[in-house]
């Protein structure tokens, strides 16, 4: 049995995690500039991962995986 690794899906999961973490850092960073900057960094890297994912995977497959960011945000909350 051959397991096909779909890098687009993995990249989108990483993107969802990074963007959710970036948003959490923004929330923490209201009173702390360091957390705010880290949040921008995480969110920016997450956007790059999302672009790379959309290059490798169909949008109908990859974009619903991006909704995992909402689930991660619930756990962060």
Whose CA is closest to 26, among 44, 12, 6, 40?
40
pTM score of the predicted model: 0.86
Mutual orientation of helices 7-28 and 68-76 as an angle, nearest 10°? Answer: 40
Structural domain boundaries in the chain: 7-76
Question: Would you state the pLDDT for residue 34?
Answer: 92
Residues 6+ apart with CB under 8 A from 3: none
Confidence at 4, pLDDT banded by 50, 70, 90: low
Determine the average pLDDT of the residues in 5-32: 91
Cβ–Cβ under 8 Å, residues 76 and 20 = yes
In this structure, are residues 65 and 12 in contact, taking their beta carbons and an 8 Å threshold? Answer: yes
């Amino acid at each position: 049995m051959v397991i096909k690794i779909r890098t687009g899906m993995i990249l989108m999961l990483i993107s969802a995690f990074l963007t959710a973490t970036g948003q959490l850092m923004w929330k923490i960073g209201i009173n702390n500039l360091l957390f705010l900057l880290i949040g921008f960094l995480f969110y920016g890297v997450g956007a790059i991962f999302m672009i790379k994912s959309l290059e490798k995977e169909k949008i109908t497959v990859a974009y619903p995986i991006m909704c995992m960011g909402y689930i991660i945000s619930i756990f962060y909350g």
